[in-house]
Amino acid sequence: MKPTTTFTSDTVQISLRKMGSAKYVKMSYPVFSGIYAEVETRDLVLHFNLNNEIIRARGKGADWPHPHEWLKRNMGNDWIYYSTGGYTGVYEATGEYYLPNLPYKTNGMLGGAPFQNGCLQELINSWPRCLEEILTRESNLPEDIVSFLEKALANNADRLQQTADNLFTLCGGRSTVLPPDARHVDYNVIPITVATGCLYKCRFCEVKNKRLFAPKSPAEIDHQLDGLMRIYRDDLINYNGLFLGEHDALNAGPKLILYTLKSAEEKLNLSASFLHGCSAYLFGSVSSLLNTPDDFFREIEQLPFQVYINIGLESHDQATLDLLGKPITSAQVADAFARIQDINDNFSKTEITANFVLDEDLPQTHLPAFLELVRESLPRVKPKGCVYLSPLKFGQPSRSKTFGFNRLKVLSRVPTYLYIIQRL
Ligand code: SF4
């Protein structure tokens, strides 16, 4: 890769191949990872990936909500607003310093309505105009800067949506929910569908689809990987995380998962990423977890991946499971929780995390049963094996409800956070 080039005039500074952080870090001020292009004017800052597609934007005017907040565009072509949440309790609640405000209804308890601020939408709509003006106004632009600006302009809103649609088509549909652990790479994961559907089709679930559970074949995995190489192209160097979809990839079985990880590492060349380390994120179910032998986790120890598997336990209370329409028993949930502790204690490259639901209308027995697992069943505080509490209601943020969450967090003996459902 060529070194960083910078052009500066009285009105603009443009840097190509600017080096950001080589790892994802959790800081209370913005730290951007990877290699990207930056355009900065008096009014705004724009970032582009190595395919010249816009990935971040920030206004600098008085109407911009906060100088440390920004807009991010992901590969699903969603614009997400990263807010500090006033720095009050966001880190304690989510494990991250910044709160992703999503442009669709989700189950987040925190956050306001930043998209109602017109200057965010204005920036999303108007960034191409800024590039056009630079091309027209600046007479001394070097050739490589002109080429970058022209390519970035060609990646207009329609083209960006087309790329996202191509990604969805390749993977057999949009990833409607990412595992909460994907926060460790800021949800910048490359999606590979190893199996469609899920086993349980729980009544309460807002993200399920109608597809029966069906694993993909190795040939289908290879086909996806070839397509992903074409979609991510020059920007692959900025990725070190995979999402193995869909809702119960663990049930696809050790052989297919290990095949996918090895093939992805090789074809996508993740070990050569600018970002240190590789990680993979997937969902599992109580059944798939209890059916997965230790040998699978032993094999993962030999791979370059840190693997995070998120299991939907939902409740340790039978009345709640019945109300949710989740066809498992509280005894199975207890077995799965014990198995999670066993795996987390014995395998350094796997972390199994678990989800439980949170809602004030659930049976009164739900929270005591939750505490039986995350407090009473554990003799001491553990640093590994996060538990995520997932609010059941969508589109109803309520800071006051976080009081109850904080109480549970203090009592829990594993790291405990809120789960904000986020798609790709
Ligand atoms: S909670 Fe999980 S297993 Fe249940 S329907 Fe939703 S995706 Fe399927």
149 and 258 share a domain? Answer: no
Q: What's the rounded mean pLDDT across residues 128-139?
A: 96
Res. 393: pLDDT tops 90: no
Of the given ranges (21-35, 100-114, 240-254, 350-364), which has the lowest mean pLDDT? Answer: 100-114
**Distance, CA of 85 to CA of 268 (rounded, Å):** 36
**423 assigned to some structural domain:** no
276 and 368 share a domain? Answer: yes
287 and 376 share a domain? Answer: yes
Q: Which residues pair with 353 in a beta bridge?
A: 310
Residue 404's pLDDT is what?
Answer: 86
411 and 307 share a domain? Answer: yes
**Which residue, of 90, 124, 155, is where some domain finishes?**
155
Which residue segment(s) compose the domain that 118 sits in?
A: 5-155
413 and 290 share a domain? Answer: yes
CB of 200 within 6 A of ligand 1: the answer is yes
How many domains in the chain? 2
Protein residue with least CA distance to atom 4, ligand 1: 202
Residue among 177, 205, 206, 314 to mutate when testing ligand 1 (max atoms within 8 A of CB): 205
Record the tokens describing residue 136, joined without a space. 């027209």
Phi, psi of 55 (to 5 degrees): -125, -20
240 and 280 share a domain? Answer: yes
**Distance, CA of 420 to CA of 200 (rounded, Å):** 22
Task: Report the CATH number at residue 324.
Answer: 3.20.20.70
Of the given ranges (48-52, 95-99, 187-191), which has the lowest mean pLDDT? Answer: 95-99
CA-wise closest residue to 308 among 336, 283, 290, 286:
283
Place of tokens 């500066």: 8
Closest atom, ligand 1, to C-alpha of 199: 3
Q: Tens digits of per-residue pLDDT, 69-105? A: 999 999 999 999 999 877 678 899 999 999 999 988 8
Res. 131: pLDDT tops 80: yes
pLDDT bucket at 289, cuts 50 / 70 / 90: very high
CB of 247 within 6 A of ligand 1: the answer is yes
137 and 186 share a domain? Answer: no
Of the given ranges (90-104, 258-272, 409-423), which has the lowest mean pLDDT? Answer: 90-104
Q: Which residue has the higher pLDDT, 180 or 394?
A: 180
28 and 115 share a domain? Answer: yes
148 and 49 share a domain? Answer: yes
